[in-house]
Amino acid sequence: MKQLDIGVAGAGPAGLAVALFLSRAGHRVEILERFATPAPVGSGLLMQPTGLTVLSALGLFDSIHGLGSRIDRLHGADAVSGRTVLDVRYDAAPGGRYGLAVQRAALFNTLHDAVAADGIRIRTGIELAVSETRGDRAVLKDTQGEMVGDYDLVIDASGARSSLVSGSGSAPTVRNLAYGAFWATLDGQGAAYDKTALSQRYDKAKVMIGLLPAGRVQVHEAERVAFFWSLKVADVEAVKAAGLDRWKAIIRNYWPDCMPFLDQIGDWDQLTLARYAHRTVLPPFSGRLVCVGDSAHSTSPQLGQGANMALLDAAALSHALANHADIASALAAYARARRNHVRLFQLLSLAFTPFYQSDSNAIAWVRDRLVSTIARVPPMPGLLASIVAGTLIDPFGPAGLTECEWRRDYSLLSGMA
């Protein structure tokens, strides 16, 4: 592949990672971002062995581990009876895998610092509207209709609400989900929580409360914790109108250990409302535009895969461009490389979401009585571990990656052995 001029729309995990891969492969890359100062939105993220392998390929394994909290287990209990209804351990599958919970800001800074160190240009304050293919060029236009860039290839990494494909033959299918969640990043000192687990409490499928140890943004800082409370987006105003104290009382009744976290919340503004949507663009390219990350496929975060899949896309696209002589065949190869993994995990997210966020008491009953029992019978523990790790089918080979050797690589981290 000759050296290409590439415009990357969006400075999220997908955009920053793909820019790093492609700039290192010798292409001229610039990133365009709507924020005046690129900044992460949201709270904690669970990085899986998939995303960690991509970060390792970018030489960022040590830096992300210096900021994250190792997670070995996902544990959920019925808030009323105390019965365990979810217990997935990474080590139920072979390979020594684990998760790493990070604050969004930590992932963003790690990638952004590498982008800055590599001298990749980021043009900020540009709200992009559309990408149009003109012959063998792709132009990007902003919301004023002004042309802001002209490239060999545009990579759409502008997330789940991207409009860039509207100028092409591809149309996304989008389904907004009824349930979202309030999220906050809070101080963990003095609080009782499992430091190696994502812990959740449920009441049927209507209530889900979660605590995720989420590491730090600077190495010297104390660990913080991502707290979340699932609710219907349509109920947000009613919940707020009833008042913060009422909301805290409900959570305290379900899970008293949350009090040290709730005590830190004095205003609704400290909570970010995350809305979820399922979105698919098929195929994830058209002409000289190609989609990576949430702009190609977004799901509810139930399985904690989105950022990891975004990073896998970045690696797979750069691998395809390195191994094909022309852009059209490289984009088709990228789509093929990611197709099965993306489809499988979109399907699994779609299937799992109603078990944790829906109005159905019947589904919650099945989860609490049947699924939790079956989940303990071999080979289910190993299977569930592979689903959570994102490795149920090989995500690495098609993206040109070699999976980390977890035990060895983790033991080589300074201070972690």
Q: What are phi and psi of 90, to 5 degrees?
A: -55, -35
* C-alpha to C-alpha distance for 168 and 130, rounded to whole angstroms: 9
Beta-carbon-side half-sphere exposure of residue 407 (alpha carbons within 13 Å): 4
Q: Tell me the three-class secondary structure of 316-368, residue by residue.
A: HHHHHHHCCCCHHHHHHHHHHHHHHHHHHHHHHHHHHHHHHCCCCHHHHHHHH
Question: Least distance (Å) from ligand FAD to the CB of residue 374?
Answer: 25
Question: Least distance (Å) from ligand FAD to the CB of residue 405?
Answer: 22
Q: Which is nearer to ligand FAD, 93 or 311 (CB)?
A: 311
Q: Which is nearer to ligand FAD, 157 or 197 (CB)?
A: 157
Q: Which is nearer to ligand FAD, 1 or 348 (CB)?
A: 348
Query: Hey, is 303 helix, strand or coil?
Result: helix
Q: Which is nearer to ligand FAD, 158 or 353 (CB)?
A: 158
Question: Least distance (Å) from ligand FAD to the CB of residue 313?
Answer: 8
Q: CA 406, 410, 414 angle in degrees (round to 5)?
A: 165
Q: Which is nearer to ligand FAD, 148 or 244 (CB)?
A: 148
What spatial distance separates the first Cα and last Cα of the chain, rounded to whole Å? Answer: 42
Q: Which is nearer to ligand FAD, 106 or 368 (CB)?
A: 106
User: Are 344 and 47 contacting, i.e. CB atoms less than 8 angstroms apart?
Assistant: no
Q: Which is nearer to ligand FAD, 159 or 398 (CB)?
A: 159
Question: Least distance (Å) from ligand FAD to the CB of residue 50?
Answer: 9
Q: Which residues bind ligand FAD (CB under 6 A)?
A: 9-15, 32-35, 42, 45-46, 126-128, 157-159, 181, 183, 274, 293-294, 301, 304-308, 310
Question: Least distance (Å) from ligand FAD to the CB of residue 16?
Answer: 8
Which residues are within 8 A (CB) of 350 and not within 5 positions of it... i.e. 6 or more apart?
A: 278, 299
Question: Least distance (Å) from ligand FAD to the CB of residue 417?
Answer: 26
User: Are 284 and 312 contacting, i.e. CB atoms less than 8 angstroms apart?
Assistant: no
Q: Which is nearer to ligand FAD, 14 or 60 (CB)?
A: 14
Residue with tokens 């991509």: 54
From the list 23, 20, 101, the residue with the least C-alpha distance to 64 is 101
Question: Least distance (Å) from ligand FAD to the CB of residue 240?
Answer: 18
**How far are the Cα atoms of 9, 131, 387 from residue 146, in angstroms, in the given order?**
15, 11, 44
Q: Which is nearer to ligand FAD, 1 or 236 (CB)?
A: 236
Tokens of 94: 């072979």
**How far are the Cα atoms of 6, 48, 67, 291 from residue 99, in angstroms, in the given order?**
32, 5, 13, 26
* C-alpha to C-alpha distance for 129 and 224, rounded to whole angstroms: 36
Exposure b/e, 251-260, CB count within 10 A at least 16 = b? beebbeebeb
* C-alpha to C-alpha distance for 124 and 31, rounded to whole angstroms: 8
Question: Least distance (Å) from ligand FAD to the CB of residue 308?
Answer: 4
From the list 402, 400, 318, 334, the residue with the least C-alpha distance to 1 is 318
Question: Least distance (Å) from ligand FAD to the CB of residue 215?
Answer: 13
Question: Least distance (Å) from ligand FAD to the CB of residue 142?
Answer: 8
Q: Which is nearer to ligand FAD, 6 or 368 (CB)?
A: 6
Tokens of 145: 């209709």
Q: Which is nearer to ligand FAD, 10 or 398 (CB)?
A: 10
Question: Least distance (Å) from ligand FAD to the CB of residue 173?
Answer: 17
